[in-house]
Amino acid sequence: MLEKLSSYLTPSNWRLDTLSGLTVALALVPEAIAFSFVAGVEPIVGLYAAAMVSLIAALLSGRPGMISGATGALAVVMAELVRSHGVEYLFATVILMGFIQLVIAVFRLGKFSRIIPYPVMLGFVNGLAIVIFLAQLPQLQSFTPEGHFGWSHGTWLPQAELLTMFGLIALTMAVIYFLPRFTKAIPASLASISLVTIIVILLDIDTPTVYDMLKGNSLSAGLPSFGIPDVPFGLETLKIIFPFAIVLAFIGLVESLMTMSLIDEKTDTRGKSNVECSAQGVANVVTGFFGGMGGCAMVGQSMINMDSGGRGRLAGIVAGITLFGFILFAGSLIEKIPLAALTGVMFMVVLGTFAWSSIRVLPRIPFSDAFVLVLVSITTVFYDLAIAVIVGIVVSALVFSWKRSQNIRSRTYVDKDGVKHYELSGLVYFASIENFSRTFTPTTDPACVEIDFAEARILDHSGIEALNSLTEKYLQAGTTLHLRHLSHDCRRLLKNAEKVVKVNVKEDPVYEVADDDLDSQGFVIKG
């Protein structure tokens, strides 16, 4: 509790957190609007989600400094639900999504994010950088709702407007790159957005702004109000929303935990995965009841926050409060911001997010790791983050299983009593049972055989079945089989499967330490 309280009250980074939060809020506006178009809902629904998820997740987060909001990965899944059943079903789904995330937090399943291999992480980062880049291309196109579903669906702006956009984007990127070399008193992203906006207004430059993106919708509105989704309560509704809620909960947590890992590496700190799961769950439950489209952690915005000096919870809190301020009071001002300035900021995020070192190390790492890295990057771009991560983990697990299956080794010898000993090393599981079985020669072995598991482990049911099959072969050959040095977990596994495996487990002698029974001269003390 004291640790979380200190993350709010430590004044050392208040100024940077506050300024960074303002920068993030400005960058959240066009993305929330664009993702609203993708999901097929009104822009205010996306803005409400961005504000509430950012504020609540920052307050409860297990990773201070991480920014959450409405995201494209979730919006793509939501589109089909909204198109088929309407926005009220979306709100109900977001609430259920949050409850599922809370259940995951209660059972402490967030820790399994640690099994994500490093090549998958690099592939995720690179793929997401490409996705963020492609997501900016509609800003260079005509502003029809269809233009927000993908960069290839819009019509490019006229040449003169396009050149103006490129010039303003280049100016924005230049300010972000060079300003920190002179001063870090103000976040470079905030300075670049402010400068480009002032130039456009003073010189009356004809270039698309946030207002053009809204297409007649006003950014100004009131505060969201509490309401229970207007859907029938019953099994039929649950059948509709539950599959979407499961997918959204999984995608949201995967993106959040992957973003957390990325920030952990960038800041050399460690977030709390289960706390983050609960924070995301609470944020989505509340957002659903207040008419928002839900959300999760955002890599791009989190990188803007990190690069702007934001490290504490205050940055996300300020971003959420500022968004509410925009909605209530400053909508007309935000509508004047040139999209070129916001696009330039995101292009710098792309350059900072992409792991350029991964290109250099590709020829130097194992082929399997390089393959997974590229596969995850491509899958992230053409499908979505959740599928990419699942594919990467599955392929990495298969490669790992195959490599470990080749490591079954055995040293054999026959002692003076004519007993043949097999001293095994390695793991006995589904991928290695063939190599395990080929190690033994039941038809030619002597009448007594001992298998030493001091450096081997039986891991799964396939291993038990392989051992049972081996036992039957020795039984048919009239050979007595003993097992030695089984670990405690292996003994428990075999005991649970005693109806499957009929093996004489030869107990090892137990050696007691006699130090407590010795006096100072080394004699055993008799009681």
The tens digit of pLDDT for each residue in 141-150 reads 775 444 443 4
pLDDT of residue 526: 36
Predicted local confidence at residue 154, as pLDDT: 59
Q: Do 319 and 432 fall within a single domain?
A: no
For the segment 453-466, the average pLDDT, to the nearest whole number, is 86
- Classify residue 99: in a domain, yes or no: yes
pLDDT at 143: 53
Token digits of residue 433: 């049972």
Same domain, 477 and 342: no
In percent, the amount of the chain with pLDDT more than 70 equals: 86
pLDDT class for 6, splitting at 50, 70, 90?
low
* pLDDT for the residue numbered 67: 93
pLDDT for the residue 505: 60
Does this model's pTM top 0.75? My answer is no
Of 363, 385, 417, which marks where a domain is finished? 363
Q: Is residue 416 part of a domain?
A: yes
Task: Evaluate whether residue 197 is within a structural domain.
Answer: yes
Asked, for residue 398, whether it belongs to a domain, the answer is no
Exposed e or buried b for every residue in 351-390, given b needs 16+ CB within 10 A? ebbbbeebeeeeeebeebbbbbbbbbbbbbbeebbbebbe
Same domain, 349 and 431: no
pLDDT exceeds 80 at position 502: no
Identify whether residues 170 and 277 lie together within a single domain: yes
Please count the structural domains in the chain: 2
* Shared-domain flag, residues 223 and 339: yes
pLDDT in the model for residue 218: 67
Which pLDDT score, from 0 to 100, does residue 145 have?
Answer: 44
Band of residue 507 on the pLDDT scale cut at 50, 70, 90:
low
User: Looking at residues 58-78, what average pLDDT do you find?
Assistant: 86
Please check whether residues 282 and 424 belong to one and the same domain: no
- Same domain, yes or no, for 280 and 421? no
pLDDT recorded at residue 245: 94
CA atoms within 13 A on the CB side of 428: 29
Question: How far is Cα 471 from Cα 483, in angstroms, rounded to an integer?
Answer: 11
Note whether 302 and 424 are same-domain residues.
Answer: no
- Is 119 in contact with 397 (CB distance < 8 Å)? no
- pLDDT at residue 57 greater than cutoff 90: yes
Retrieve residue 422's tokens.
């097999």
Q: Are 503 and 491 in contact (CB under 8 A)?
A: no
Do 293 and 431 belong to one domain?
Answer: no
Indicate if 174 and 295 belong to the same structural domain.
yes
Domain stop point among 363, 384, 419: 363
Residue 218 sits in the same domain as residue 93: yes
- pLDDT for 223 equals 84
CATH number at residue 440: 3.30.750.24
Tell whether 520 is covered by a domain: no
Instruction: With a cut of 60, say whether residue 77 has pLDDT above it.
Output: yes
More confident residue, 281 or 347: 281
Within a domain: residue 376?
no
**Is the predicted pLDDT of residue 320 greater than 90, yes or no?**
yes
416 pLDDT more than 60: yes
**What pLDDT shows up at residue 35?**
77
Q: Which residue would you say has higher pLDDT here, 145 or 412?
A: 412
**Residue 24 included in any domain:** yes
Is 519 contained in some domain?
no
Examine the domain organization and report whether 335 and 421 are in the same domain.
Answer: no
| Domain housing 285 | 2-363
Give the C-alpha separation, 171 to 347, whole Å.
Answer: 12
> Looking at residue 58, what is its pLDDT?
92
Which tens digit of pLDDT belongs to each residue from 212-221?
A: 777 666 667 7
Q: How far apart are the first and last CA of the chain?
A: 53
DSSP H or E segment with residue 68: strand 68-69
